[in-house]
Chain A
Amino acid sequence: METHYLDNSATTAVCKAAADKALYMMTDNYGNPSSLHKMGIRAEEEVEKAREIIAGTLSVDSREIIFTSGGTEANNTAVFGAAQALRRRGDRVIVSAVEHPSVHESAKRLSELGFDVHYAPVDKDGAVDIEALKALLNNKTILVSVMAVNNETGTIQPIERVSKLVHKLSPEALFHCDAVQAYCKTPLKPQKYGVDLMTVSAHKIHGAKGAGALYIRSGARISPLLYGGEQQKKLRPGTESSPLIAAFGAAAAEADIQADSGYIRELSSYALGLLRQTDGISINSPEDALPYIINISAEGIRSETMLHHLESAGVYISSSSACAKGKRSYVLEAMGLSDSRIDSSLRISFSKYNTKEDIDALTAGLRTGIATLQRR
């Protein structure tokens, strides 16, 4: 049976350039990047090359990038690092109601530690409600975190607008943006937007799991999560995972936002066309969502049931976010969707390796699912 992998927001296939690079770093260029000798220097060169590539994709300086073990660690570093560094300036932390669990749960932990944590509500499309955010921002606010693109719905957040507001109304605050789902899929310019901290991850862009990066605007001070060696300006001590980092660089170098997103837009509108013609399917993603993600509901059929039905046809998708297996989506709840829509929600997510055949297989699977599963 053919595989139709449409769960690329959960993770992607590693591209050949990245896999080759990782193998090379593991078997040939395997020195510790911090070693003083040549073997160390050669490995460090690859790590620094990757740093420059990642910095280039964000139009920032390579010294503003630190590597982490992934998006979750980068988000934790941003949230706890900023709160820790700025706790003498204030105690209010604001995150949007639809953040990824690695921000959402970190904020919850800050609340347990005594910080004044608020969740900024979103509108029916899942975009941050600007007026509500305005009301929350005050001069005690030290951190605001709003993602670039939502991982469940593809909703694009008004980052530039939010950033301006944050800096105007809360001059002490750092503004963090989790851009894991947006990275290499839409142009990101944290410096231009006034974003202080930005999270990106390798395995959503055909790199390997286990590597991510945090942009820290030069001049923005945060505390580290980990303590140990001198690596990465002590902000992220520990021997750099040179194979995964170098592979991250190779994957980012291969990404071509213009060409890739153009192709995905084509696929996405093809899929949306077919989905709209399918009785029993409603579309939860807003019209102007990032084309890489489509969230749908087949009302009356539990997400998991449909997921396994599609799986039997070789089609792989998510029941909303893969990180929240079995739990009801708080993202869709925050958008005000009905319980029946939420319980039947599914996330389809594309990569440049997908074809129209994958989408045909998906819609065929959905149709047979709706026809056969609903009766039970």
Chain B
Amino acid sequence: MKEIVLIKLGEMVLKGLNRRTFEDVLIKNIKYRLRGLGRFEIKIAQSTIYIDPLSEDTDLDDVCERIGEVFGIVSFSRACVCEKDLDDILDKAALYCKEYLEDASTFKVESKRSDKRFPYKSPEISAQVGGRLLSTCPHLKVDVKEPEVTVTVEVRDFGAYIRCGAIRGQGGMPVGTSGLATVLISGGIDSPVAAYMMAKRGLKLNAVHFESPPYTSERARIKVEKLLRQVSRYAGSIEMHTVPLTKVQETMRDRCPEELFTILLRRVMMKIASRVAEETKSGALITGESLGQVASQTMYALNCTNAAADKIVFRPLIGMDKQEIINISRRIGTFETSIEPYEDCCTIFTPKHPRTKPILRFVEQAEREAGLDELIEEAIANTTVKTIDF
């Protein structure tokens, strides 16, 4: 029995003339995500993508796991391929559904006939298949309202397909269809979630990470690489720019008012990230800021930070509670790594009483007096780049 995976597309089916582009990007992303699992024939028709494994040893469970991580997919399912012939459909339904129905007590059959040349109408197909399944699994009862298993028969252009239920996909839009954006990633819980959320809206990502050896450890950077690797399951490959901030932070410590350390640091990060974005043709910055979470994320502080950015800053977590963020982080698999305890740039030289209502004029003055902007050039020049991929 030949089995394939059928994929239903997300909101991109609403797109007009651009739809083809969206579909092409999605198929490219799916192909990339399935690399290493064997050879596939992938085709699209009637808002459905068909993934047909060509290698013998391909495990469709692995395929489904990966498909479940690709943005732009509403739902997907394994399906058994039949001839467009009622007898073949009936025989295969009996064989194929057995495993799914063995432990169920109720079921129903739904049919969709998009190929109107098929001589049986949908209700007739359902009745026939239902009858056959009842005779092969006599313990079953039909329940059209709340069945434990829904068997779907689709008669489509290329053939007929039987599936038992469907799995919800990630939704969202195919990565890359919205352009490229730069995420500022620290190693905490929030920034990987922010990256995931914006990738879901179709952004391809690159990342800026700051480190201050010897105050921060190589382990902190490895932790961030691990986080980005997890995000790349959804977002595709991510170019990670690691920028050394030791000199900037030491200068700040020596020459700036303590209560401004945090805000000054955030502004330096925005300036550097804007430069990286400019050089990599990225159109926006992404941060994990959430209003009021810490001193640097008050409305007043965010205004000062924002003024240092040259690009639009996406802050998808701005209105979320910590617990909501943690829930997403657990779901996407970054939480356990995020809570590994290593110092990062934001946790060293922290002031005892950071200013929660900084005033931009004074902040800019402190920057000028310390000559921070000149140090930024040096930091950028010493940036290292690494591609992170799952």
Q: Which of B173-181, B216-224, B252-260 contacts A (4 or more CB under 8 A)?
A: B216-224
Q: Which residue in chain A gives the minimum CB-CB distance to B57?
A: A258
Interface set, chain B 218-253, CB cutoff 8 A to A: 218-219, 222
* A61 contacts partner chain B, Cβ-Cβ < 8 Å: yes
Contacts of B336 in A (CB 8 A): 63, 233
Minimum Cβ distance to chain B for residue A200 (Å): 19
Q: Which residue in chain A gives the minimum CB-CB distance to B221?
A: A41
Contacts of A258 in B (CB 8 A): 57
Across the interface, do A41 and B218 meet the contact criterion of CB distance under 8 Å? yes
Contacts of B62 in A (CB 8 A): 59
Contacts of B218 in A (CB 8 A): 38, 41
Minimum Cβ distance to chain A for residue B234 (Å): 14
Across the interface, do A41 and B222 meet the contact criterion of CB distance under 8 Å? yes
Give Cα A36–Cα B216 distance, bound, in whole angstroms: 10
Classify the interface of chain A: helix, strand, loop or mixed.
helix
**Contact A36-B219, Cβ < 8 Å, known A59-B61, A164-B103, A192-B61:** yes
Across the interface, do A168 and B103 meet the contact criterion of CB distance under 8 Å? yes
Tally A residues with Cβ within 8 Å of B: 12
Q: Which residue in chain A gives the minimum CB-CB distance to B99?
A: A160
* A309 contacts partner chain B, Cβ-Cβ < 8 Å: no
Give Cα A59–Cα B62 distance, bound, in whole angstroms: 8
* A209 contacts partner chain B, Cβ-Cβ < 8 Å: no
Give Cα A103–Cα B336 distance, bound, in whole angstroms: 30
Contacts of A164 in B (CB 8 A): 103
Give Cα A189–Cα B62 distance, bound, in whole angstroms: 10
Q: Which residue in chain A gives the minimum CB-CB distance to B102?
A: A164
**Contact A61-B333, Cβ < 8 Å, known A36-B219, A41-B222:** yes
Minimum Cβ distance to chain A for residue B148 (Å): 12
Q: Which residue in chain A gives the minimum CB-CB distance to B226?
A: A48
Give Cα A189–Cα B219 distance, bound, in whole angstroms: 32
Interface set, chain A 158-172, CB cutoff 8 A to B: 164, 168
Minimum Cβ distance to chain A for residue B63 (Å): 12
Q: How many A-B residue pairs have CB under 8 A?
A: 19
Contacts of A38 in B (CB 8 A): 218
Give Cα A189–Cα B60 distance, bound, in whole angstroms: 12
Across the interface, do B59 and A36 meet the contact criterion of CB distance under 8 Å? no
Q: Which residue in chain B gives the minimum CB-CB distance to A167?
A: B103
Across the interface, do A36 and B103 meet the contact criterion of CB distance under 8 Å? no
Contacts of A59 in B (CB 8 A): 59, 61-62
Contacts of A192 in B (CB 8 A): 61
Give Cα A168–Cα B105 distance, bound, in whole angstroms: 12
Give Cα A41–Cα B218 distance, bound, in whole angstroms: 8
- Binary flags per residue of A80-122, CB closer than 8 Å to B gives 1, else 0: 0000000000000000000000000000000000000000000
Minimum Cβ distance to chain A for residue B161 (Å): 22
Contacts of B333 in A (CB 8 A): 61, 63
Give Cα A44–Cα B271 distance, bound, in whole angstroms: 35
Minimum Cβ distance to chain B for residue A274 (Å): 32
Q: Which residue in chain A gives the minimum CB-CB distance to B222?
A: A41
Give Cα A192–Cα B61 distance, bound, in whole angstroms: 8
Give Cα A41–Cα B342 distance, bound, in whole angstroms: 13
Across the interface, do B61 and A189 meet the contact criterion of CB distance under 8 Å? yes
Minimum Cβ distance to chain B for residue A50 (Å): 16
- Binary flags per residue of B55-93, CB closer than 8 Å to A gives 1, else 0: 001010110000000000000000000000000000000
Interface set, chain A 255-272, CB cutoff 8 A to B: 258
Contacts of A61 in B (CB 8 A): 333
Give Cα A164–Cα B219 distance, bound, in whole angstroms: 41
**Contact A36-B61, Cβ < 8 Å, known A61-B333, A63-B336:** no
- Binary flags per residue of A185-200, CB closer than 8 Å to B gives 1, else 0: 0000100100000000
Contacts of B217 in A (CB 8 A): 36
Q: Which residue in chain B gives the minimum CB-CB distance to A257?
A: B57
Q: List 10 A-B contacts (CB under 8 A).
A: A36-B217, A38-B218, A41-B219, A59-B61, A59-B62, A61-B333, A63-B333, A189-B59, A192-B61, A233-B336
Task: Give 7 closest A-B pairs by Cβ, nearest first.
Answer: A192-B61, A36-B217, A164-B103, A41-B218, A63-B336, A36-B219, A168-B103
Instruction: Given A38-B218, A168-B103, A233-B336, output 7 extra A-B contacts at Cβ < 8 Å.
Output: A36-B217, A41-B218, A41-B219, A59-B59, A59-B62, A63-B333, A189-B61
